[in-house]
Structure 1
Amino acid sequence: MNIDIPAGVRVYNRRETLQINFIEEKISEIFERWCYEEIILPSFEFFNVHSRGFGGEIENRAFKFIDRNSGEILTLRADFTSQIARYFASLKKKTVPKRYYYKGNIFRYVIPKADNLWERKQMGIELIGVKELEADAEVIAVAVQSLENLGIKEFQIDINNVKIFDTVKELLGLDKSRFITFMDFVRKRETYNIENFVSNMDIDDQLKEFVISIPEIQGDITVIQKLKQSLKEYPTLVSSLESIEKVYSILSDYGISDKVVFDIGEPREFSYYTGIVFEIFVKDYSRPIGHGGRYDSLISKYDGNIPATGFAFDLLNLWDYMKQTGKLPVLKSKDFFIIDLTQEKKSAYRIGKILREKGYSVGRDIVQREFKESLKFAFEEGYSKAIVIGLDSVEKDIYIYSSMDSFEKLNLDEFFRKI
């Protein structure tokens, strides 16, 4: 009989579950301090509705199945932001600003090998209804404080603005197909191919030099300031750079600008981004642990032209990093395991009830087996102590084992006085 699970999913054991829950709780603390409200969203939606939000990037990776009620195609959640955009658009009364946070799984097909899972855990926020750049700075600040609440100090936020690429597309006169080719060169940081791509274009040398250098433009705020000067003949590009500069200024007021770098050659994956975008990296870890950005046109794909911004942590990458750096809690031991060798078991019921009322965690052995086997089970399962009842003829005497060979004999009154 095959009892395996599919290649793209996995089980999280007790220790791993504790660690992931710890991360979620620490992040939730910060989200709630900033007055973000948790909502729980369905695991699947109508495909033709959900896919409106994320477009072609992940449409072919969505998991689809048939609704046995309506006959329509359903899909497992492929993207939280699209789902929240649909939810907000469905509200009859749209009061803004609205601050939501969520946690759960997204489902996308990837080739199932190594850490490539079809089911990924995410946790993030969405700030809806604010067009001002202060909103972009706020979501970045929330991300920074969340990481600091987890004890993570060595990280950076890579900021960019996708309007730069929209402007380049217009200035170079690129159609959709050629723009995709160009962006692929940028994403792979293939300067040589970009140079060949623009070599025969009728554009001035200043613009050509900028376009060719895009993959290499990264650094601190002085990089943005210098670009503004060199591109002053292109007001739309300057405006995009000024937006980055303004967000940086607000982050300076928050006291967290030291966490920021700028990487113009790192475009974000989703087509719904319309302005400031960012990725979060930690020291000595290759994969990003979070990403986000502004998506002012996404909600309009459902109903209502409403600006928004947000970000999400990749919890599995964050968990993997924290495991490597020893920043996660150890598995908490359970307190007492009761082994009652008497026929009636009444003492076990009473002792368990009293201990639980006092706040202890208590398990009972209700399997018929040898006493030593039950004792071995207790310590293998992480109990701190085992209480054995009926080991001798005096039922009121109990044995408190702290290991297989170490115990203390007490009567019940003495035991209850001690705890």
Structure 2
Amino acid sequence: MNAWQLPEGIDELTHDQALTFEMLRRSLIDLYTSKGFGLVIPPMVEYVDSLLLTSDSVNEKTFKFLDPVSGKMLGVHADITPQIARIDARRANNTIEKYCYINAILQTSADDFYDSRSPIQAGAELYGADDISADVEIIELMLESLKLLSIDPIVISLGNVAIFDALINQASLTNLQAAELRQIFTRRSSPDLAVFIANNSVANASAFSALMKLEGNSPILEQALDLFSEYPQALSAIKDLQAIDEKLQAKGIQATYDLAELKTYEYHTGVVFSAYNQNYSKALAKGGRYNGIGESFGRSRAATGFSFDLKFLSQSK
């Protein structure tokens, strides 16, 4: 192997690429701080327990090694959000807190969101506000970020993982069955869902079949209210989406809705959203709500935020 060859999925920026990235990084930080989001620079390495937050997805993507100093297991951050939860938990007040960051992360494998194993994650997170105005603020900031990167037009897709969770709560499934069903929805596979329902006793099978197909513009939300009228948790989640849709439309922002969207980390608890552009084959930015994320640090807080790979987007035009 050549000594100058980089590992698979690991890349670098040089010369004009690096200059373009740095100019955009500075512009984004100026944007975020002008909106009241404080810049944080979390460490590259932490104790593994602080990085995972009981998330299997983050666990699978985290490089781990034994610390020769402490004798404890360390991890290289694969996602910044758990670190923001730790930082927020250290604050002594219950006020609304806003954070932003642009940090290199490292993942054991690339996925359908990050193009490489060494993306540079940029994002903003808002803690301490449980109302939908916080989600709208974060969505607007995500849109401003992409426009600053000269990506336009942008299509926003929203969902709410609480709808799926509401159906799971009444499905009478084992933990293993529930995990398998979640993976089927993550893959968005109707044939696999049909096989699962045929091979398992699912108390509300028709509801899952209906959910798999619920995708479209805002009128789909009224249809969902009728379909899931027997699920109070689902109704509340759908009404949250309607309220967000009303606020976005008032600002001239049109959104589509995918109520079966589950391509999220396990710590997401409610509204989730993604941004798309016709020139790209995948989501450019993603985010959502993750209430209670600081619980493992002794301080459960409402939270919402978004992130994207600045290294990829800065070089893709």
For normalisation by structure 2, the TM-score amounts to 0.91
Aligned equivalent of 2:267, options 262, 266, 272 = 272
Measure, in 2, the Cα distance between the counterparts of 1:239 and 1:43.
Answer: 38
Measure, in 2, the Cα distance between the counterparts of 1:247 and 1:189.
Answer: 24
Q: How does 1:55-66 map to 2 (within 5 A)?
A: 55-66=55-66
Alignment partner, residue 108 of structure 2: 109
Alignment partner, residue 184 of structure 1: 183
Measure, in 2, the Cα distance between the counterparts of 1:187 and 1:30.
Answer: 33
Measure, in 2, the Cα distance between the counterparts of 1:219 and 1:111.
Answer: 29
CA offset digits 1:91-126 (Å, max 9, x no partner): 3x23420011000111111179xx853211110011
CA offset digits 1:159-218 (Å, max 9, x no partner): 111101111111211222111211222122221222333346464xxx544411333321
Measure, in 2, the Cα distance between the counterparts of 1:4 and 1:227.
Answer: 52
* Alignment pair present for 1:84 and 2:81: no
Query: Over the residues paired in the alignment, what is the CA RMSD in angstroms?
Result: 2.1
Q: Counterpart of 2:284 in structure 1: which amino acid?
A: I
Q: Given the superposition, is the C-alpha separation of residues 220 and 35 from structure 1 closer, same or farther in structure 2, using an over 3 Å criterion?
A: same
Q: Given the superposition, is the C-alpha separation of residues 187 and 319 from structure 1 closer, same or farther in structure 2, using an over 3 Å criterion?
A: same
* Alignment pair present for 1:236 and 2:237: no
Alignment partner, residue 166 of structure 2: 167
1:288–1:317 Cα contact (<8 Å) kept: no
1:289–1:317 Cα contact (<8 Å) kept: no
1:160–1:244 Cα contact (<8 Å) kept: yes
Alignment partner, residue 293 of structure 2: 298
Residue 2 of structure 1, CA deviation = 2.6
1:141–1:254 Cα contact (<8 Å) kept: no
Alignment partner, residue 214 of structure 1: 211
Q: How many residues align?
A: 313
Q: Which runs of 4+ in 1 moved over 3 A?
A: 199-203, 207-210
2:17–2:315 Cα contact (<8 Å) kept: no
Aligned equivalent of 1:314, options 302, 306, 309 = 309
SS in structure 1 of the partner of residue 298 of structure 2: coil
Identity %: 25
Measure, in 2, the Cα distance between the counterparts of 1:75 and 1:193.
Answer: 35
Unaligned runs of 5+ in 2: none
Alignment partner, residue 136 of structure 1: 135
* Alignment pair present for 1:31 and 2:26: no
* Alignment pair present for 1:72 and 2:69: no
* Alignment pair present for 1:248 and 2:245: yes
Residue 39 of structure 1, CA deviation = 1.2
Greater Cα radius of gyration, structure 1 or 2: 1
Higher-RCO chain (CA-CA 8 Å, sequence separation at least 6): 2
Residue 144 of structure 1, CA deviation = 1.2
Q: Counterpart of 2:105 in structure 1: which amino acid?
A: I
Q: Counterpart of 2:128 in structure 1: which amino acid?
A: G
Measure, in 2, the Cα distance between the counterparts of 1:2 and 1:143.
Answer: 40
Measure, in 2, the Cα distance between the counterparts of 1:188 and 1:50.
Answer: 26
Q: Given the superposition, is the C-alpha separation of residues 45 and 178 from structure 1 closer, same or farther in structure 2, using an over 3 Å criterion?
A: same
Q: Given the superposition, is the C-alpha separation of residues 320 and 171 from structure 1 closer, same or farther in structure 2, using an over 3 Å criterion?
A: farther
1:101–1:124 Cα contact (<8 Å) kept: yes
For normalisation by structure 1, the TM-score amounts to 0.70
Q: Counterpart of 1:242 in structure 2: which amino acid?
A: K
1:102–1:123 Cα contact (<8 Å) kept: yes
Measure, in 2, the Cα distance between the counterparts of 1:233 and 1:45.
Answer: 44
Measure, in 1, the Cα distance between the counterparts of 2:87 and 2:268.
Answer: 18
Measure, in 2, the Cα distance between the counterparts of 1:108 and 1:155.
Answer: 27
1:287–1:317 Cα contact (<8 Å) kept: no
SS in structure 2 of the partner of residue 280 of structure 1: strand
Measure, in 2, the Cα distance between the counterparts of 1:142 and 1:290.
Answer: 11
Measure, in 2, the Cα distance between the counterparts of 1:261 and 1:197.
Answer: 28
CA offset digits 1:331-357 (Å, max 9, x no partner): xxxxxxxxxxxxxxxxxxxxxxxxxxx
Q: Given the superposition, is the C-alpha separation of residues 201 and 74 from structure 1 closer, same or farther in structure 2, using an over 3 Å criterion?
A: closer
1:26–1:150 Cα contact (<8 Å) kept: no
1:191–1:213 Cα contact (<8 Å) kept: no
